[in-house]
Structure 1
């Protein structure tokens, strides 16, 4: 833990007693459930879009908002969600977020028009934005390093499982049941999560926080929402289109205002002194570089598998399953690796493996098949699992009074880096003479970014 975290005496936290083993087990179950459903909703709906267009008469623009509306509010409200958790109580905000998410899921499933569905998706994303930073704070506060690592491991494994199962679950429900169950599936899981959270999650908050930094909350929402909009729609509308340029300018100006407000505020939402902790800043930077590389490339990988390697849509979806399964299987073993070799070496090795696997995929050419693709995808899966200590390193470097904000910063870094990576790699792909050449160039560029992340981890996480 950093000197900043160790010396912070500004606040006391109610949850200072480690919960019993049984209670901690239930807490991990809550983490797994909410991590699964919030990640699942990033991918599960994509397969149902053609059916939604037919049954609801949705336009292409409305279908796009069904997908991106969730991401927009999810990313836009995460920092605010983290500070609300610190001020009003992590358990309260976690339960409130699950309740909002679950109610919005029910509304989405019962929607009879595309407008109602888009509105429900926007509310779903705001609920998820409350859930994720509060959940990471709950994992951090009052727990020792081993329990914190276990919590982050469960979160990562559940997220990887959701990413792999999302298209499969969405396709099955849409084809054999009804598209509404893509959203209604969240309702029983959400109700169960609320009950378990009420029983297993100890309450904690920043006792020194007298009020919410309204200016900080407002400017952070503008920064992230405008930035997310620009990154999401830039490729479609054109990076030099007036709408995208205005959105980008609004995000940049709001970011400058946010820094000024936070530096001068008496009780800022994000205490900028957090970034003086080397492990905190290094972990966030490494997370950003990982997200820039991996998420940016995987967005185009399905197209590469179908256009270049000749895979069917089903085979393209199945290509990601071994990767996700290895993340699920290897992640629980990572704490043992971390204790043996340290977080810096574990994360550094993981990022080097991810980069190596990505580079190997970049050299695949027409005529290569499943047997050629499987080894590098497995290497990427193992490497991604080894990056698990990034979360505990960032959370452990912050004082418990700021656990919600620390979780929010880490979550925002993860989400925004993926969007930025898609934009950057997209420019490389679209500016090349052929898709295959552009994809390979983008993949090698992304691998280079991940290698830089590995070096940052080795230097800062010691």
Structure 2
């Protein structure tokens, strides 16, 4: 029985008001328009993150933010996003996937507007955290709806396009952000969300049918609390390590408590009667191996972008638009993503995911040798990174969705998204910490500076640039040169760490992933909504379609 089937008469299951049955053939006739609406929702999330990276230097100057505050401006969004994804995926299965999608877009819009008019770093961090909660409602719903409206044989292709739309945010984010920042203040990067949300909301209202698991056993609130708290404390410890050091008691306690909370989450999920996910799902090699691959990709992507935006704008002194144009090199993702499902059919899941991670490792290693006087090597490395990400992400996402049980498609999709966002949060935290510590270690003695100026210079290259500008003359130039040299030392160390993580991901893919999945497309293999060709699908309940 499909989770979308109508409850039989006399079953005692109440039918929500104002519902009508949907002819599945009619829904499928509009499936590509529905996919376009879902991709627009996804584009909103990717566009926002990359635009913000371009705005970080301006925000730092406006608010006089510390390096740690800069990391939290990014990480607060990623943390709530990743921490709430499992809960939101379960809520989508229980109450409706389209409902969560629309609610998420409304929340995202409201707090985007508030973020644009933040008055200090603390307010911006809070608004970004709330935006992350909205994004957590949006992203798992998009994948779950793909599984609902596409037949099994088309799902791999649809997910390839889904991943490609995420890739589209890479070139669009920096370029749109650069244009806005060259002509307006940094808050404009949040206001640009408004027209995108309005179009996506209209499309969702008129195109996307509602779907839910009418036999949902109930919400795993304790599991959601443990996972969110565990991830939050872990990332807090990693981010604060850049300020307190890795041996500081706050760092060590945070990391230890976070690890214990996550261990508690695993134990709870194995023992509770109604877990967020089927108990044996992580024992499925294609699911667990793909989740680790997605996390490794996101670790490298988010961490490297955090470093490279500073490199382009502070070290090479590019204006935001010029820096954004150079990041267009990563648009090679748009070439590789549609090819990924075809390559999986021909070569197998293991080969494609491993090859993508190897390309990512090579790209990050190439970035570690960036030149302080030229961006050529970084541009080539971004192009290589885009190819690797475009190969890995669609293949891994499709494998994870294929393994998820039919009644938990929202929760299963949320694990894909959680691996992406949590991997990104850890990437920013670890890479930011390594960058900050290596940068400080490489700086010469600052004893000749006033204490307040010396502290600012030691905090980040952006602050050092501001201090050097206020000094002027030859002393200012020498200070700026020393800060840039120290930043490049930090860039090398941080990119080598990132390359090590993606190399480890490639090794995991070789060991864990099966050579081939049981079938092509999400839903193959018997755990998803597979229907034989020509078989009529069950009628589902829908709201407002």
Q: Shorter-chain TM-score: which interval? A: 0.7 to 0.9
From the superposition, tell whether residues 439 and 260 of structure 1 become closer, same or farther in structure 2 (CA, over 3 Å): closer
The counterpart of 1:399, out of the listed 405, 414, 423, is 405
- Determine the structure 1 residue equivalent to 2:352: 346
The counterpart of 2:228, out of the listed 215, 221, 226, is 221
Separation (CA, whole Å) in 1 of partners of 2:387 and 2:154: 22
Separation (CA, whole Å) in 2 of partners of 1:368 and 1:53: 25
- Determine the structure 2 residue equivalent to 1:6: none
- Determine the structure 2 residue equivalent to 1:378: 383
Q: Per-residue displacement from partner, 1:361-384 (whole Å, max 9, x unpaired)?
A: 4455567652x5544432322222
Instruction: Give the RMSD, CA atoms, in angstroms.
Output: 3.3
- Determine the structure 1 residue equivalent to 2:51: 44
From the superposition, tell whether residues 17 and 453 of structure 1 become closer, same or farther in structure 2 (CA, over 3 Å): farther
- Determine the structure 2 residue equivalent to 1:445: 500
Q: Does 1:408 align with 2:414?
A: yes
Deviates more, 1:81-90 or 1:100-109: 100-109
TM norm structure 2:
0.73
Q: In the TM superposition, what are the counterparts of 1:79-158 in structure 2 within 5 Å?
A: 79-111=86-118, 116-158=123-165
Indicate conservation of the 8 Å contact 1:150/1:335, yes or no.
yes
Structure 1: gaps (5+ residues): 1-8
Separation (CA, whole Å) in 2 of partners of 1:144 and 1:316: 42
Separation (CA, whole Å) in 2 of partners of 1:134 and 1:326: 27
- Determine the structure 1 residue equivalent to 2:288: 281
Separation (CA, whole Å) in 1 of partners of 2:110 and 2:258: 30
- CA apart distance, 1:199: 2.2
- Determine the structure 1 residue equivalent to 2:213: 206
Q: Does 1:356 align with 2:411?
A: no
From the superposition, tell whether residues 198 and 457 of structure 1 become closer, same or farther in structure 2 (CA, over 3 Å): farther
Separation (CA, whole Å) in 2 of partners of 1:70 and 1:443: 21
Separation (CA, whole Å) in 1 of partners of 2:213 and 2:516: 26
Indicate conservation of the 8 Å contact 1:297/1:442, yes or no.
no
From the superposition, tell whether residues 238 and 152 of structure 1 become closer, same or farther in structure 2 (CA, over 3 Å): farther
From the superposition, tell whether residues 149 and 243 of structure 1 become closer, same or farther in structure 2 (CA, over 3 Å): same
- CA apart distance, 1:349: 2.5
Q: Per-residue displacement from partner, 1:8-37 (whole Å, max 9, x unpaired)?
A: x69555689466455212221222211111
Q: Does 1:243 align with 2:243?
A: no
Structure 2: gaps (5+ residues): 7-21, 443-488, 518-545
Indicate conservation of the 8 Å contact 2:332/2:387, yes or no.
yes
Q: Matched residue of 1:344: which SS?
A: helix
From the superposition, tell whether residues 231 and 136 of structure 1 become closer, same or farther in structure 2 (CA, over 3 Å): farther
- Determine the structure 2 residue equivalent to 1:77: 84
Q: Matched residue of 1:168: which SS?
A: helix
Q: Does 1:290 align with 2:297?
A: yes
- Determine the structure 2 residue equivalent to 1:186: 193
Q: Per-residue displacement from partner, 1:218-253 (whole Å, max 9, x unpaired)?
A: 212212222232233332332333433333233222
- Determine the structure 2 residue equivalent to 1:3: none
- Determine the structure 2 residue equivalent to 1:25: 32
Separation (CA, whole Å) in 1 of partners of 2:149 and 2:195: 29
Q: In the TM superposition, what are the counterparts of 1:1-20 in structure 2 within 5 Å?
A: 11-12=3-4, 17=24, 20=27
- Determine the structure 1 residue equivalent to 2:263: 256
TM norm structure 1:
0.84
From the superposition, tell whether residues 304 and 16 of structure 1 become closer, same or farther in structure 2 (CA, over 3 Å): farther
Indicate conservation of the 8 Å contact 2:237/2:254, yes or no.
yes
- CA apart distance, 1:201: 2.0
Separation (CA, whole Å) in 2 of partners of 1:130 and 1:87: 13
The counterpart of 2:395, out of the listed 389, 393, 399, is 389
- CA apart distance, 1:400: 1.7
From the superposition, tell whether residues 77 and 369 of structure 1 become closer, same or farther in structure 2 (CA, over 3 Å): closer
Separation (CA, whole Å) in 1 of partners of 2:71 and 2:298: 22
Indicate conservation of the 8 Å contact 2:79/2:425, yes or no.
no
